[in-house]
Structure formats: C-alpha cells, structure tokens
Amino acid sequence: DQQVKQNSPSLSVQEGRISILNCDYTNSMFDYFLWYKKYPAEGPTFLISISSIKDKNEDGRFTVFLNKSAKHLSLHIVPSQPGDSAVYFCAASVSGGGADGLTFGKGTHLIIQP
Amino acid sequence: NAGVTQTPKFQVLKTGQSMTLQCAQDMNHNSMYWYRQDPGMGLRLIYYSASEGTTDKGEVPNGYNVSRLNKREFSLRLESAAPSQTSVYFCASSEELYWGYVTEAFFGQGTRLTVV
C-alpha cells in the first residue's frame, strides 16, 4: 500500500500564478518531508524540506506547509515560472529509523503555461 | 564538483544477460541508495547501504545484488536480466547528521536500462 500519495498526476498553471502541489501520507512515523524536482533525462534534485516539528518552511518562491493532523503537505510556488515545469516528487522519511532511504510519491507533472 | 556519478547512462541487454551499474559519490556521504523509476510508479528503493560494509534490502530487491565497495562506490548487479527490469535506475547518497537521521539525498543522472 502506498505510504506517500500524490493524487494529481499533472497540474497546469499559468505563468505568474501560484502553483499548489499536494501530498498525503499514511505512515504516522514519518517525521521528515522533502520535495524533489525532476527534469526529463536528469536525476531528481532536492528542492525544500520540512521537519515534523514545523508547519511551514520557506525558501524564496517555494513554501512547504505541513498539516500533521491531516497527514498532508503541500508545496506552493509563487510566482510560477516557465522553468518550474517539471515532475515534482514528495518524499518522506523516519528519523532514527536507520538510513533506509526516502519513500516517494508517484510524482506530479507541473506544466507552466505562458 | 561531480556529486553522484553513474555509469553507463544507457544500456540495452538481452534477457538473461548480466550487468553491473556503477555509482560513485565524492561528498563523503555514508549512506548510498539505488532506486528505480517506472512510469506512474515514482521512485522505489531497491537496496541501500548505511555505511561501508553494510547493505540492506529496500522495497523491490528481487533480481538485484549490490556491493558497497568502499565509502565512495556502490554498485548494482543484475545477474540475469528480465524485461520487467526495464527501468531508469538512480543512485543517490545522503549525509547522516547523527545515527539514523539522514538529510536530503543527492541523485545521479540515472541509467536508462532496456531489457529485450
């Protein structure tokens, strides 16, 4: 059963507007969450993360929100730019559980339209 | 700064052939990982290595073996390739802040493998 879910396979947003990508998780042990961005024919690159002790983390145009009670996180991109067109993966991990990697969602393909 | 380097970038195998995917990182990370990415499936962990000399199975280990050759290198071997192993393979590494707590993983550019 999928522990990290990204229910929107694709999202189309107009340039300059806000992009909101959503992610849900089922494992209550997850306490560290990350967003990765992936362009075609490249490896994923780290974008932003948030620890479960916080509910918001900002980095420039990118903000991640965490709602622990709902087991939901979202990535906001404001304003959206053409270079933001990519596949975005939500990932989660359990700290203190050993270096057993990240659990990824299936990804959301963000398309920024001019 | 090279980061995580994977070789080869592309490979076509016949069913039953074997091959080894190579991965090296120059960030002095303890933890290394192999993932596969399939359409509509996201990234799934095949094997990981928390430190030199240790390896553990991930979500989809069947049909693969790994070797943590030293701190820098972590290889993935397909002993008898099957069409179901057609995928894009990513190697990654991460820093361990303290035991069991790893930060973000850095990925290589991937190996696109086709098994016919």
- Residues of B (6-25) whose Cβ lies below 8 Å from A: none
Nearest CA in chain A to B104: A46
**Least CB–CB distance from B43: residue in A42, A89, A98:** A89
A70 touches chain B (CB under 8 A): no
Rounded to whole angstroms, how far apart are CA atoms A41 and B10? 11
For residue B69 the two structure tokens come to: 């050759």
pLDDT of residue B52: 87
pLDDT of residue B42: 87
Residue of B45, B106, B107 lying closest to A4 (CA atoms): B45
pLDDT of residue B77: 98
- Mean predicted lDDT score pLDDT of chain B: 91
Is residue A88 within 8 A of residue A36, CB to CB? The reply is yes
For residue B26 the two structure tokens come to: 């120059």
pLDDT of residue B39: 85
For residue A53 the two structure tokens come to: 């002790």
Provide block-wise average pLDDT over 10 residues at a time, chain A (114 residues): 92 98 95 93 92 94 97 98 97 69 91 96
| B115 has a pLDDT exceeding 80 | yes
CA A66 to chain centre: 10
